[in-house]
Amino acid sequence: MEYSAKQLAQILKGTVDGDATAKVTKFAKIENGKPGCLCFYANPKYEHYVYTCKASVLLVNKDFEAKEPVSCTLVRVDNAYSALAELLKYASRDKQIRGRHRAFSAKYYFSTKFGKSVYVGANAYVGRHTTVGDNTVIHPNVYIGDNCKIGSNCIFYPGVRIYPGMVIGDNVIVHANAVIGSDGFGNAPQPDGTWQKIEHLGNVIIGDNVEIGANTTIDRSEMESTIIGKGVKIDNLCQIAHNVVIGDNTVMAAQVGIAGSTKIGESCIIAGQVGIVGHITIADHTTIAAQAGVISNIRKPGGQFLGSPCMPIKQYLRSYAKFKQSGEE
Protein backbone atom coordinates (compact mmCIF):
# COMPACT_ATOMS: atom_id res chain seq x y z
CA MET A 1 0.00 0.00 0.00
CA GLU A 2 1.02 3.61 -0.42
CA TYR A 3 -1.03 6.62 0.66
CA SER A 4 -0.20 10.28 1.11
CA ALA A 5 -1.47 12.27 4.06
CA LYS A 6 -3.78 14.11 1.68
CA GLN A 7 -5.24 10.85 0.38
CA LEU A 8 -5.74 9.58 3.92
CA ALA A 9 -7.57 12.75 4.86
CA GLN A 10 -9.84 12.36 1.84
CA ILE A 11 -10.59 8.70 2.63
CA LEU A 12 -11.27 9.41 6.31
CA LYS A 13 -12.93 12.82 5.83
CA GLY A 14 -10.31 14.48 7.98
CA THR A 15 -7.85 17.35 7.74
CA VAL A 16 -4.06 17.49 7.39
CA ASP A 17 -1.87 19.27 9.90
CA GLY A 18 1.63 19.27 8.41
CA ASP A 19 3.08 17.92 5.17
CA ALA A 20 0.18 16.79 2.95
CA THR A 21 2.61 14.93 0.65
CA ALA A 22 4.01 12.71 3.44
CA LYS A 23 3.65 9.08 2.33
CA VAL A 24 3.06 5.87 4.27
CA THR A 25 3.50 2.28 3.14
CA LYS A 26 2.65 0.30 6.30
CA PHE A 27 0.94 0.43 9.68
CA ALA A 28 2.67 0.41 13.07
CA LYS A 29 1.91 0.90 16.75
CA ILE A 30 2.61 4.40 17.97
CA GLU A 31 5.50 3.19 20.15
CA ASN A 32 7.13 1.61 17.07
CA GLY A 33 6.52 4.41 14.59
CA LYS A 34 9.23 4.97 11.98
CA PRO A 35 9.43 6.96 8.73
CA GLY A 36 7.02 5.49 6.18
CA CYS A 37 4.66 4.22 8.88
CA LEU A 38 1.11 5.24 9.74
CA CYS A 39 0.28 5.24 13.46
CA PHE A 40 -2.71 6.37 15.49
CA TYR A 41 -3.28 7.97 18.88
CA ALA A 42 -6.60 7.54 20.70
CA ASN A 43 -5.83 6.43 24.27
CA PRO A 44 -4.58 9.25 26.59
CA LYS A 45 -2.17 6.91 28.39
CA TYR A 46 -0.11 6.74 25.17
CA GLU A 47 0.20 10.49 24.75
CA HIS A 48 3.91 10.52 25.64
CA TYR A 49 4.59 8.45 22.50
CA VAL A 50 3.09 11.21 20.34
CA TYR A 51 6.16 13.37 21.03
CA THR A 52 8.71 10.62 20.36
CA CYS A 53 6.99 8.88 17.44
CA LYS A 54 8.91 9.08 14.15
CA ALA A 55 6.05 7.90 11.90
CA SER A 56 5.37 9.87 8.74
CA VAL A 57 1.65 10.22 9.55
CA LEU A 58 -0.24 10.03 12.84
CA LEU A 59 -4.03 9.77 13.09
CA VAL A 60 -5.41 11.84 15.97
CA ASN A 61 -8.77 13.13 17.12
CA LYS A 62 -9.73 16.57 15.85
CA ASP A 63 -9.67 18.04 19.35
CA PHE A 64 -6.16 16.83 20.16
CA GLU A 65 -3.91 19.66 21.40
CA ALA A 66 -0.18 18.94 21.52
CA LYS A 67 1.70 19.96 24.65
CA GLU A 68 5.11 19.49 23.00
CA PRO A 69 6.46 19.62 19.41
CA VAL A 70 5.29 16.74 17.16
CA SER A 71 7.43 15.57 14.24
CA CYS A 72 4.69 13.56 12.50
CA THR A 73 2.22 14.93 10.00
CA LEU A 74 -1.15 14.78 11.75
CA VAL A 75 -4.36 13.67 10.07
CA ARG A 76 -7.17 14.90 12.28
CA VAL A 77 -10.41 12.88 12.27
CA ASP A 78 -13.57 12.71 14.38
CA ASN A 79 -12.51 9.45 16.05
CA ALA A 80 -9.01 8.11 15.51
CA TYR A 81 -9.81 4.56 16.62
CA SER A 82 -12.84 4.27 14.33
CA ALA A 83 -10.89 5.90 11.51
CA LEU A 84 -8.12 3.30 11.88
CA ALA A 85 -10.67 0.48 11.65
CA GLU A 86 -12.14 2.05 8.53
CA LEU A 87 -8.71 2.52 6.99
CA LEU A 88 -7.61 -1.06 7.72
CA LYS A 89 -10.76 -2.29 6.02
CA TYR A 90 -10.13 0.03 3.06
CA ALA A 91 -6.51 -1.10 2.74
CA SER A 92 -7.50 -4.76 3.00
CA ARG A 93 -10.04 -4.38 0.23
CA ASP A 94 -7.58 -2.35 -1.83
CA LYS A 95 -4.98 -5.13 -1.72
CA GLN A 96 -7.45 -7.88 -2.60
CA ILE A 97 -6.72 -9.72 -5.78
CA ARG A 98 -6.74 -7.30 -8.69
CA GLY A 99 -7.95 -8.17 -12.15
CA ARG A 100 -10.59 -10.48 -10.69
CA HIS A 101 -10.98 -13.72 -12.58
CA ARG A 102 -12.13 -17.31 -12.24
CA ALA A 103 -9.30 -19.82 -11.98
CA PHE A 104 -9.05 -22.51 -14.64
CA SER A 105 -9.31 -25.25 -11.99
CA ALA A 106 -12.41 -23.73 -10.37
CA LYS A 107 -15.65 -25.65 -10.93
CA TYR A 108 -18.98 -23.96 -11.73
CA TYR A 109 -21.89 -24.34 -14.15
CA PHE A 110 -23.82 -22.50 -16.85
CA SER A 111 -26.57 -21.97 -14.30
CA THR A 112 -24.14 -20.35 -11.84
CA LYS A 113 -24.58 -16.57 -11.95
CA PHE A 114 -21.62 -14.30 -11.14
CA GLY A 115 -21.81 -10.55 -10.66
CA LYS A 116 -19.16 -8.09 -11.78
CA SER A 117 -15.52 -8.49 -10.71
CA VAL A 118 -15.95 -11.78 -8.86
CA TYR A 119 -12.78 -13.74 -8.06
CA VAL A 120 -12.92 -17.54 -7.80
CA GLY A 121 -9.68 -19.19 -6.71
CA ALA A 122 -8.07 -22.47 -7.67
CA ASN A 123 -10.06 -25.64 -6.93
CA ALA A 124 -13.03 -23.70 -5.61
CA TYR A 125 -16.51 -25.07 -6.34
CA VAL A 126 -19.66 -22.99 -6.89
CA GLY A 127 -22.81 -25.03 -7.40
CA ARG A 128 -25.71 -25.06 -9.82
CA HIS A 129 -28.24 -22.21 -9.73
CA THR A 130 -26.14 -20.33 -7.19
CA THR A 131 -25.85 -16.54 -7.53
CA VAL A 132 -22.79 -14.57 -6.42
CA GLY A 133 -22.89 -10.77 -6.08
CA ASP A 134 -20.46 -8.15 -7.38
CA ASN A 135 -16.88 -7.92 -6.07
CA THR A 136 -17.07 -11.08 -3.99
CA VAL A 137 -13.82 -12.99 -3.41
CA ILE A 138 -13.94 -16.79 -3.22
CA HIS A 139 -10.50 -18.04 -2.23
CA PRO A 140 -9.04 -21.40 -3.29
CA ASN A 141 -10.62 -24.63 -2.03
CA VAL A 142 -13.92 -23.03 -1.04
CA TYR A 143 -17.10 -25.09 -1.52
CA ILE A 144 -20.41 -23.32 -2.17
CA GLY A 145 -23.30 -25.69 -2.83
CA ASP A 146 -26.25 -25.55 -5.21
CA ASN A 147 -29.06 -22.98 -4.95
CA CYS A 148 -27.16 -20.59 -2.67
CA LYS A 149 -27.60 -16.81 -2.73
CA ILE A 150 -24.36 -14.97 -2.02
CA GLY A 151 -24.28 -11.18 -1.70
CA SER A 152 -21.87 -8.54 -2.97
CA ASN A 153 -18.48 -7.60 -1.50
CA CYS A 154 -18.16 -10.86 0.45
CA ILE A 155 -14.92 -12.68 1.23
CA PHE A 156 -14.72 -16.45 1.71
CA TYR A 157 -11.31 -17.61 2.88
CA PRO A 158 -9.75 -20.98 1.98
CA GLY A 159 -11.56 -24.08 3.13
CA VAL A 160 -14.94 -22.48 3.80
CA ARG A 161 -17.85 -24.90 3.28
CA ILE A 162 -21.29 -23.53 2.47
CA TYR A 163 -23.97 -26.20 2.10
CA PRO A 164 -26.69 -26.02 -0.57
CA GLY A 165 -29.53 -23.54 -0.16
CA MET A 166 -27.80 -21.08 2.17
CA VAL A 167 -28.52 -17.33 1.96
CA ILE A 168 -25.69 -14.87 2.70
CA GLY A 169 -26.02 -11.08 2.59
CA ASP A 170 -23.66 -8.32 1.45
CA ASN A 171 -20.25 -7.51 2.99
CA VAL A 172 -19.99 -10.84 4.78
CA ILE A 173 -16.57 -12.23 5.74
CA VAL A 174 -16.22 -15.96 6.46
CA HIS A 175 -12.81 -17.10 7.66
CA ALA A 176 -10.97 -20.31 6.88
CA ASN A 177 -12.64 -23.68 7.43
CA ALA A 178 -15.91 -22.30 8.75
CA VAL A 179 -18.93 -24.47 7.91
CA ILE A 180 -22.32 -22.92 7.13
CA GLY A 181 -25.33 -25.22 6.93
CA SER A 182 -24.23 -28.54 8.40
CA ASP A 183 -26.97 -30.71 9.92
CA GLY A 184 -28.07 -29.89 13.43
CA PHE A 185 -27.51 -32.40 16.23
CA GLY A 186 -30.94 -34.00 16.15
CA ASN A 187 -31.50 -37.66 16.99
CA ALA A 188 -34.67 -39.43 18.14
CA PRO A 189 -34.35 -42.16 20.80
CA GLN A 190 -35.64 -45.58 19.77
CA PRO A 191 -37.22 -48.32 21.94
CA ASP A 192 -34.14 -50.51 21.53
CA GLY A 193 -31.86 -47.79 22.90
CA THR A 194 -30.50 -46.66 19.54
CA TRP A 195 -30.83 -43.20 18.02
CA GLN A 196 -32.44 -42.32 14.70
CA LYS A 197 -31.09 -39.30 12.85
CA ILE A 198 -33.54 -36.43 12.27
CA GLU A 199 -33.01 -35.01 8.80
CA HIS A 200 -32.52 -31.25 8.52
CA LEU A 201 -34.11 -29.69 5.44
CA GLY A 202 -33.93 -26.00 6.38
CA ASN A 203 -31.15 -23.49 5.79
CA VAL A 204 -29.07 -20.68 7.29
CA ILE A 205 -29.77 -17.02 6.55
CA ILE A 206 -26.91 -14.61 7.26
CA GLY A 207 -27.54 -10.85 7.18
CA ASP A 208 -25.37 -8.04 5.84
CA ASN A 209 -22.04 -6.99 7.41
CA VAL A 210 -21.53 -10.22 9.35
CA GLU A 211 -18.10 -11.68 10.14
CA ILE A 212 -17.66 -15.36 11.02
CA GLY A 213 -14.42 -16.66 12.50
CA ALA A 214 -12.27 -19.60 11.47
CA ASN A 215 -13.55 -23.11 12.25
CA THR A 216 -16.92 -21.84 13.40
CA THR A 217 -19.96 -23.96 12.55
CA ILE A 218 -23.52 -22.78 12.00
CA ASP A 219 -26.09 -25.56 11.64
CA ARG A 220 -29.13 -25.38 9.38
CA SER A 221 -32.60 -25.74 10.84
CA GLU A 222 -34.81 -28.79 10.62
CA MET A 223 -37.55 -27.10 8.58
CA GLU A 224 -37.14 -23.31 8.55
CA SER A 225 -34.02 -21.15 9.05
CA THR A 226 -31.18 -20.58 11.46
CA ILE A 227 -30.85 -16.77 11.35
CA ILE A 228 -27.77 -14.60 11.93
CA GLY A 229 -28.81 -10.94 12.01
CA LYS A 230 -27.14 -7.94 10.42
CA GLY A 231 -23.83 -6.77 11.84
CA VAL A 232 -23.24 -9.88 13.96
CA LYS A 233 -19.58 -10.65 14.72
CA ILE A 234 -18.67 -14.24 15.61
CA ASP A 235 -15.17 -15.24 16.70
CA ASN A 236 -13.28 -18.47 15.92
CA LEU A 237 -14.36 -21.93 17.09
CA CYS A 238 -17.97 -21.11 17.91
CA GLN A 239 -20.87 -23.57 17.56
CA ILE A 240 -24.34 -22.28 16.67
CA ALA A 241 -26.95 -25.01 16.57
CA HIS A 242 -30.06 -25.49 14.47
CA ASN A 243 -32.98 -23.02 14.63
CA VAL A 244 -30.95 -20.44 16.60
CA VAL A 245 -31.77 -16.78 15.97
CA ILE A 246 -29.12 -14.15 16.73
CA GLY A 247 -30.22 -10.51 16.73
CA ASP A 248 -28.54 -7.66 14.88
CA ASN A 249 -25.14 -6.40 16.07
CA THR A 250 -24.57 -9.09 18.68
CA VAL A 251 -20.94 -10.16 19.18
CA MET A 252 -19.50 -13.37 20.61
CA ALA A 253 -15.95 -14.40 21.45
CA ALA A 254 -14.23 -17.72 20.80
CA GLN A 255 -15.59 -21.11 21.87
CA VAL A 256 -19.13 -19.99 22.54
CA GLY A 257 -21.65 -22.82 22.19
CA ILE A 258 -25.35 -22.15 21.59
CA ALA A 259 -27.78 -25.06 21.67
CA GLY A 260 -30.76 -25.40 19.36
CA SER A 261 -33.78 -23.10 19.05
CA THR A 262 -32.40 -20.38 21.33
CA LYS A 263 -33.16 -16.75 20.49
CA ILE A 264 -30.53 -14.16 21.32
CA GLY A 265 -31.45 -10.48 21.18
CA GLU A 266 -29.83 -7.51 19.51
CA SER A 267 -26.55 -5.88 20.57
CA CYS A 268 -25.63 -8.58 23.09
CA ILE A 269 -22.04 -9.28 24.16
CA ILE A 270 -21.18 -12.94 24.76
CA ALA A 271 -17.67 -13.56 26.08
CA GLY A 272 -15.42 -16.56 25.49
CA GLN A 273 -16.47 -20.14 26.33
CA VAL A 274 -20.01 -19.23 27.27
CA GLY A 275 -22.44 -22.15 27.02
CA ILE A 276 -26.12 -21.51 26.33
CA VAL A 277 -28.78 -24.22 26.57
CA GLY A 278 -31.48 -24.66 23.96
CA HIS A 279 -35.03 -23.30 23.72
CA ILE A 280 -34.47 -20.14 25.76
CA THR A 281 -34.62 -16.40 25.00
CA ILE A 282 -31.97 -13.80 25.87
CA ALA A 283 -33.03 -10.15 25.91
CA ASP A 284 -31.44 -7.31 23.93
CA HIS A 285 -28.25 -5.63 25.21
CA THR A 286 -27.37 -8.51 27.53
CA THR A 287 -23.72 -9.02 28.51
CA ILE A 288 -22.61 -12.54 29.49
CA ALA A 289 -19.14 -12.89 31.00
CA ALA A 290 -16.59 -15.55 30.06
CA GLN A 291 -17.30 -19.23 30.86
CA ALA A 292 -20.81 -18.50 32.07
CA GLY A 293 -23.47 -21.17 31.72
CA VAL A 294 -26.91 -19.88 30.71
CA ILE A 295 -29.67 -22.34 31.60
CA SER A 296 -32.82 -20.19 31.66
CA ASN A 297 -34.42 -17.18 29.98
CA ILE A 298 -33.01 -13.70 30.44
CA ARG A 299 -36.03 -11.47 29.99
CA LYS A 300 -34.89 -8.02 31.11
CA PRO A 301 -32.74 -6.09 28.59
CA GLY A 302 -29.38 -4.65 29.52
CA GLY A 303 -28.35 -7.11 32.23
CA GLN A 304 -24.84 -8.35 33.02
CA PHE A 305 -24.39 -12.01 33.98
CA LEU A 306 -21.59 -14.17 35.34
CA GLY A 307 -21.10 -17.71 36.66
CA SER A 308 -22.38 -21.19 35.94
CA PRO A 309 -25.31 -21.31 36.29
CA CYS A 310 -25.14 -17.62 35.49
CA MET A 311 -26.72 -14.94 37.65
CA PRO A 312 -26.69 -11.12 37.69
CA ILE A 313 -23.12 -10.02 38.19
CA LYS A 314 -23.70 -8.18 41.49
CA GLN A 315 -25.45 -11.21 42.93
CA TYR A 316 -22.62 -13.44 41.73
CA LEU A 317 -19.94 -11.27 43.35
CA ARG A 318 -21.80 -11.28 46.69
CA SER A 319 -22.21 -15.05 46.51
CA TYR A 320 -18.56 -15.53 45.57
CA ALA A 321 -17.45 -13.40 48.53
CA LYS A 322 -19.41 -15.65 50.91
CA PHE A 323 -18.11 -18.77 49.18
CA LYS A 324 -14.54 -17.56 49.51
CA GLN A 325 -15.02 -16.70 53.19
CA SER A 326 -16.45 -20.16 53.90
CA GLY A 327 -13.27 -21.73 52.53
CA GLU A 328 -11.14 -19.75 54.99
CA GLU A 329 -12.95 -21.01 58.11
Give the tens place of pLDDT for each residue, 260-282.
Answer: 999 999 999 999 999 999 999 99
Residues of the chain with CATH 2.160.10.10: 113-316
Rounded mean pLDDT of 296-320? 94
Whether the predicted pLDDT of 103 surpasses 90? no
pLDDT number for residue 171: 96
Point out the residues that are catalytic. Answer: 242
Per CATH, the number for 3-94 is: 3.40.1390.10
Choices 3.40.640.10, 3.60.15.10, 2.160.10.10, 3.40.50.460: CATH for 113-316: 2.160.10.10
pLDDT number for residue 321: 86
pLDDT number for residue 261: 96
CA–CA gap between residue 313 and residue 298 (Å, rounded): 13
Residues of the chain with CATH 3.40.1390.10: 3-94
User: pTM (2 decimals)?
Assistant: 0.83
